[in-house]
Amino acid sequence: MRHPPALSPPTERERLLAAHRRDGRRLLTPRAAVSAFSLVVLAAGATGMTLRDDQPAAAHQTAADNRTETRASRGDARALLSDHAEVLAARSAVAKKAAEAKRVAAAKRAAAAKKAAEAKAAAARKAAAARKAAAARRAEAARRAEAARKAAAAAAARRAAAARKAAASVPAACQSYRGNQRTACRLLPKYGFSTSEMSALVPMWTKESNWNHRAENPSSGAYGIPQSLPGNKMASAGSDWATNPETQIRWGLGYIRSVYGSPSQAWAFWQANGWY
């Protein structure tokens, strides 16, 4: 009786292949699939190298079965690797999309922050310009007020000086008169008249205007202390004829001298005619 030759002990690769067959077609993770695929390839190679032509038909059948299972395992591994590649591609696409969304959101936040900063800076510049303009207006108003104050003070000083000068030049005979009548009394000698002419001048101009330098006749339009007709004839004595009593008195005394010769003669005419 012929006995079959004794088989050598299984190698490490054969033991791994047997373990793989026992586990069946379980679902592997991408990394486990790669490891299993590598083991299957190694086991298949090892199996092919250990088979000999002189082994029985059963051993050849076992090798064929092993090759069939190896091809099936390779197909499963390829499918798992393809799925894993798709998962990785999908994850990469999601990651890229999330990164792009994050970048866009960051850009929008940066643009909004820049716009807000520019608006704040513009508002600050506008407020500063408004404050500067207001300060300039206040300074200009203060300057004008100071100029007006100085001008008023200068005018008051001139009037006071003129009043002092006039008071110093008033003859003793005129001290009893006040206001516009004192001015007329003081000016009489300058037109060649005696201060005694005040006895005629006072009643005549009292009848005409009551010595009011703004008096105006509503019927004829005669104006001022001497009741010049029209009033602007007094401009020959000064441009301030409408407001300055002394200008009006100077014009009136000149008129009396040229037309009547003296206030007494003008008063006599007035008494006879009601005008002069």
Domain chopping of the chain, boundaries:
12-51+58-104, 174-273
In order of 180, 191, 236, the CA distances from 255 in angstroms are 17, 10, 11
| Mean predicted confidence (pLDDT) in 248-258 | 98
Given its phi and psi angles, is residue 105 left (phi above 0), alpha (psi -120 to 50 degrees) or beta? alpha
Question: Which residues, 6 or more positions from 127, have their beta carbon under 8 angstroms from its beta carbon?
Answer: none
What is the pLDDT confidence band of residue 160, given thresholds at 50, 70 and 90? confident
Tell me: pLDDT of 28 over 50: no
Q: What is the pLDDT of residue 32?
A: 46
Q: Give the model confidence (pLDDT) of 52-94 as tens digits.
A: 444 555 555 666 666 666 666 667 777 778 888 888 888 899 9
Tell me: pLDDT of 200 over 50: yes
Q: The tokens of 143 are what?
A: 């300057």
200 vs 252: CA distance, rounded Å: 14
| Mean predicted confidence (pLDDT) in 82-111 | 90
What is the pLDDT confidence band of residue 258, given thresholds at 50, 70 and 90? very high
242 vs 235: CA distance, rounded Å: 8
Q: Give the model confidence (pLDDT) of 210-234 as tens digits.
A: 999 999 999 999 999 999 999 999 9
Tell me: pLDDT of 25 over 80: no
| Mean predicted confidence (pLDDT) in 164-168 | 70
Q: What is the pLDDT of residue 274?
A: 94
37 vs 70: CA distance, rounded Å: 9
CA triplet 254, 264, 243: central angle to 5 degrees?
A: 40
Question: Which residues, 6 or more positions from 59, have their beta carbon under 8 angstroms from its beta carbon?
Answer: 7, 51
